[in-house]
Structure 1
Amino acid sequence: MQIIDFMIDQNLRELTEHRTMVLPVACYETVINQNVNGYIPLHWHDEFQFVLVINGEADFHINEEKIMVQEGEGLFINSSCLHSAEDKNDSGCAYICLNISPSFVLPQELNAMYVKPYTEATNIPYIKLIHAEGWAFNILASIRKIHQLTKETPSCYQIDISIHINLIWKNLMMNGIQLEFELAEMIKSQRMKQMLDWIHFNYAEKILLDDIAKAGQLSRSECCRYFKRILKTTPLNYVTHYRIQKSLILLKQPESNITDIAYSVGFNSTSYYIERFRKAMDTTPLAYKKLHMS
């Protein structure tokens, strides 16, 4: 079942518990434009994520990179990596999403040797899965099979899911990527999350560029470079975007007032809120509210 409006905490960590029955695994179809935002907003989670596009095409943003994924292709997104997705060319992109807890990939005795190094590596925020590659073809086939098993739930299907997860991980390791562990990359990721954490905690207050930079222990110019390189936007534009996303939740409440919402999420005027909302959402707050209420 698709999650169209998943919740995230102040650090952008997704709060959805990814489970299928008794397993720490979730497998479901996602249609990007059916999300409440019209796209999959920026978030992260502890689980590994495997994606198989089954219709259309999409741009996935993972840490600092944008990856276009077409029908029949897929992605491995590593644990704790910031990611989002947008439909490309109004293609009606749909994909199978498979989330797996790292602790469930292999038995505990093998986890430290074969799984944990991947969660700590700094050079693999993602791996693109193209069916022409034998190891990737096998992973994509197992994703399809797990999706089928979760829908049909035959006898002992949980064991079959576990077997396919083992096969997925074995094939992922067969791609030959040498893991790297760079301290500079770890520090960069930590500082980025510190700045996002500060914004998400203080978004309703007045925010200056100096405040954001201080949260990441960076200069103003270096702070701007971080946001431009990783999130493809400026720090203050990100603040505006985040405030609009927070306002969507309030607009769904029947008794909510546009002016009160504008000020409660940090805008200093109703007209500016409406202007930026229209630019971001291609509609007005009032029209969005009426559509949701209907």
Structure 2
Amino acid sequence: MQYLNFNETKQHGTSNFPFEFYHVDSVHPRYIMNYHWHVEYEIIRVLEGELYMTLDEKGFSAAAGDIIFIHSGTLHSGTPSDCVYECLVFDLNIFMKHNPGCTPYIQRIIDRSALIYHHFSPKYEEIHRIIWNVFDAMSNKLSGYELITFGELYHFFGTVFSRHLYLEDVPQTRRDYKRIMQLKNVLDFIDNNYALPITLEQLSAAASMSPKYFCRFFYQMTHRTPIDYLNYQRIEHACYELATSENSVTDVAFNCGFNDLSYFIKTFKRYKGKTPGKYHA
């Protein structure tokens, strides 16, 4: 099984085929999509249940059959409810390589002068058919799936422009931009230092705020307290390590920033409903 990588600075796919596909269900280590961001674009298709998404500071519910498009640099999270979903993460720049005729269109997406709709229900029949073909190709990986993936995504972008399924030159207030960048700085700090002791003062400093105002700001943005988010992120890393290595529970605890094994086990059970030993088994 392919696991979502916790370090979103990694390259997805290869330089010639920069696409990464993930199938996510309730047993996946990252079933709940914690707040994160990456420079690549992402498309999600919901197969079963419901997925509550937050893009930057805007939330909405996606149901089975829905498609979600996430622009580069967008802070996003997803909370599933009896949900199975799939993700395709890719580098949009590949679509300008050796295709100068497509460059003006793709450049508009990159520049955000054309902001593709973030939510497509099944009523967008052509979009639905195209994206389903892409995901089926990436899932089955039959001979020629790379050609189908490229071809159908060109088809998708062409349909977006021909049907005007995008917003133009959407303004972003300076205040909104500042808040998003402050949160990104905090998330980056956690991602780079989760294995080390982290204090509330360090987190608030990453956002250039006092601890008092930072706690309120962080909760408004993520609906979690900073310490709750930090612990959850550490447990997510622990799940990944338990699922992909032979390390002992003790080693995993210390690798993920927990200096007290009993506290790690208690915290793990609170978030995952089982002990790390049972999860590992």
Q: Shorter-normalised TM-score: what interval?
A: 0.7 to 0.9
- Give the letter aligned to residue 63 of structure 1: D
Matched, 1:206 2:197: yes
Percent identity between matched residues is 21
Q: TM-score, normalised by structure 1?
A: 0.76
Task: Note the C-alpha offset of 1:6.
Answer: 2.3
**Gaps (5+ residues) in structure 2?**
none
Match for residue 274 of structure 2 among 279, 283, 288: 283
- Give the letter aligned to residue 32 of structure 1: D
- Give the letter aligned to residue 78 of structure 1: H
Matched, 1:116 2:117: no
Distance 2:26 2:88 in 1: 19
Name the structure 1 match of 2:53: 60
Distance 2:50 2:268 in 1: 26
- Give the letter aligned to residue 256 of structure 1: S
Distance 1:29 1:212 in 2: 30
Name the structure 2 match of 1:83: 76
- Structure 1 residues 11-26: aligned runs within 5 Å: 13=8, 15=10, 17-18=12-13, 22-26=16-20
- Give the letter aligned to residue 111 of structure 2: P
Matched, 1:147 2:142: no
Stretches (4+) displaced over 6 A = none
Q: TM-score, normalised by structure 2?
A: 0.80
Task: Note the C-alpha offset of 1:69.
Answer: 0.8
Distance 2:192 2:89 in 1: 27
Name the structure 2 match of 1:103: 93
Matched, 1:50 2:46: no
Distance 1:239 1:15 in 2: 21
> For residues 199-258 of structure 1, what are the alpha-carbon distances to aligned partners after superposition, in whole Å with 9 as ceiling and x for unaligned?
233333332212211111112233113321222101111121122223334445435252
- Compared with structure 1, are the counterparts of its residues 34 and 164 closer, same or farther at alpha carbon in structure 2 (3 Å cutoff)? farther
Distance 2:74 2:132 in 1: 24
> For residues 12-54 of structure 1, what are the alpha-carbon distances to aligned partners after superposition, in whole Å with 9 as ceiling and x for unaligned?
x2535146x954345x562432422443444333222222323
**Gaps (5+ residues) in structure 1?**
none
> For residues 184-213 of structure 1, what are the alpha-carbon distances to aligned partners after superposition, in whole Å with 9 as ceiling and x for unaligned?
322222211211222233333332212211
Computed over aligned residues only, the root mean square deviation of the Cα atoms, in angstroms, reads 3.3
Distance 1:144 1:66 in 2: 24
Name the structure 2 match of 1:217: 208
